[in-house]
Amino acid sequence: MRYETFIASRFLPRGRTRFAGNLAGIASASIALGVIVMLMAVCILRGFQGAIADKVAGFGSHIVVRSYATGSALDAYPVSTQRPEVERIRNVSGVRHLQFFANKGGMVKTNDQIHGIIFKGVDSGFDTTFFASCLTKGRLFRLADSTATNEVIISQVMARKLHFSIGDKVRTYFWQGNTYRARAFVVAGIYNTDLTEFDEHYIIGDLRQVQRLNGWQSDQVGGYEVLLKNYNNIDIVAPRVLECLSLDLTQQTISEANPALFSWLDLLNSNIVLIIVLMALVCSVAIVSSLLIMIFEKTSTIGILKTLGATNAGIRRIFLTKATSIVLRGLVAGNIVALALCVIQKTLNIVTLDSEIYSMSAVPIDINPFTFIIISIGTLAICLVALLLPTSYISRIEPAQSIRVEN
């Protein structure tokens, strides 16, 4: 064992009540608290981003490919499912699934109300995982092989507003040119995603219903929906998908289609950066204060060590070793507490939210090991850099002036 490590281990032993010892405990607690705040802030932000992206992608996808001639999402120009782009997109690295869809704008009429809707038609290749997880009543509609089904699923918001329940008929009207076409659907299930903007308008049903309303062929759809393996890689995968498209096709990413939601998430990013900077400063000030008091209290010891031949660099290593152990205790405690809080919230959803404001009923948590590792290493590095300032004071201590006889 090097002498620096041995001497550092003898500083501030357990059971001591001296001021520096108490301050070291406060420093560890401050670092732990700072780490908890940083980890929770990042985990919550990542949870919000993931939850919003998953919900919006559930209604659409991460990337939507449409005809360049399409005026709007409700005025679609058909594209064929037999185009070579379909297989090229499916083979792009990072793409998990490709599915076909078509939207049709219309309205629902009851005895006393009229409500605007977007009928989203899907086929048997549609990934129903999201809507299956959001069902509150009933079941998903069943797609027959030969004929179009009239079963649909509607949102809980729409069901409450228009007084629909499972098995009720939904009378809908769709404009087609200068006239309209009426359709009667049956409610098979009711879903709730807490995305009010979408829940108020979307009805999900059979793609063949939209094809018949528009007079399309069986291979004509409104576009392709591309789901990614990892949403965080969208900036990498989207250009690859774009390279697969002909000039008459265009794409739109989930953030481009929903700028308000993702602008809000970007604003949260700036807040998280501010929190991390402030907590890093708190951790630095706490450990620097602790080390300075420790150096002042051990001035006589420093003088004796210099008299015995210890170098300034060796004495610095003694105090850096002790300060590092204080930081590490705070980091370990902070990581354990933060992980426990994240697991509790993710499992029990103790902290709830107003779903009409935040688009979710509970605070979402994303537990990523890399988040814990990066913040811990970053905090340790910042604290060690900050410790260089107080340890520079050691070189100014003169042995003749520092050695005192203690009574």
pLDDT by residue for the chain (407 residues), tens only, comes to 565 666 666 665 444 445 555 677 788 888 899 899 999 989 998 888 888 888 888 887 899 999 887 665 566 789 999 999 999 999 999 999 999 999 998 999 988 889 999 999 999 889 988 999 899 999 999 887 778 889 999 999 999 999 999 999 999 999 877 778 899 999 999 999 888 888 899 999 999 999 998 889 989 999 999 999 988 889 999 999 999 999 889 999 988 888 887 887 778 778 888 888 888 888 888 888 777 777 777 667 666 666 666 676 777 777 777 788 888 888 999 999 999 999 999 998 898 888 777 778 888 999 989 989 999 998 888 888 887 777 676 666 666 555 554 44
Identify the pLDDT of residue 269. 78
How far is C-alpha 249 from the chain's CA centre? Answer: 30
Identify the pLDDT of residue 308. 67
DSSP symbol at 392: G
Per the CB < 8 A criterion, the answer to whether 101 and 222 are in contact is: yes
Reading the block at residue 106, the tokens are: 């219309």
Identify the pLDDT of residue 161. 92
Q: How many CB atoms lie within 10 A of CB 48?
A: 21
**364 to each of 47, 210, 274, how far by Cα in Å?**
5, 36, 21
Considering Cα of 381, then 382, then 383, then 385, what sign does the dihedral take?
positive
Identify the pLDDT of residue 405. 42
Identify the pLDDT of residue 276. 86
Reading the block at residue 87, the tokens are: 């297989």
Per the CB < 8 A criterion, the answer to whether 105 and 118 are in contact is: yes
Helix (H, G, I), strand (E, B) or coil at 368: coil
Identify the pLDDT of residue 406. 45
Torsion angle of the four alpha carbons 230, 235, 236, 238, in this order, in degrees rounded to the nearest 10: 90
3-state percent breakdown (helix, strand, coil) of the chain, nearest 5 = 55, 20, 25
Q: How far apart are CA 225 and CA 240, in angstroms?
A: 15
DSSP symbol at 361: S
Q: How far apart are CA 212 and CA 53, in angstroms?
A: 32
Q: How far apart are CA 170 and CA 280, in angstroms?
A: 57
First vs last C-alpha separation in the chain? 32
SS3 readout for 157-194: HHHHHHCCCCCCEEEEEEEECCEEEEEEEEEEEEECCC
**64 to each of 172, 193, 241, 257, 303, how far by Cα in Å?**
26, 20, 10, 9, 72
Q: How far apart are CA 137 and CA 160, in angstroms?
A: 13
Q: How far apart are CA 52 and CA 56, in angstroms?
A: 6
Q: How many CB atoms lie within 10 A of CB 301?
A: 17
Torsions phi, psi of 322, nearest 5? -65, -45
Helix (H, G, I), strand (E, B) or coil at 383: helix
SS3 readout for 22-88: HHHHHHHHHHHHHHHHHHHHHHHHHHHHHHHHHHHHHHCCCEEEEECCCCECCECCCEECCCCHHHH
Identify the pLDDT of residue 372. 92
Give 247-251 contacts, CB < 8 A, sequence gap 24+.
Answer: 247/68, 248/67, 248/68, 248/69, 249/65, 249/66, 249/67, 249/68, 249/79, 249/85, 250/65, 250/66, 250/67, 250/68, 251/63, 251/64, 251/65, 251/66, 251/226
Per the CB < 8 A criterion, the answer to whether 27 and 35 are in contact is: no
Q: Minimal CA–CA distance to 93: which of 225, 224, 233, 223? A: 233
Identify the pLDDT of residue 359. 76
Q: How far apart are CA 51 and CA 264, in angstroms?
A: 13
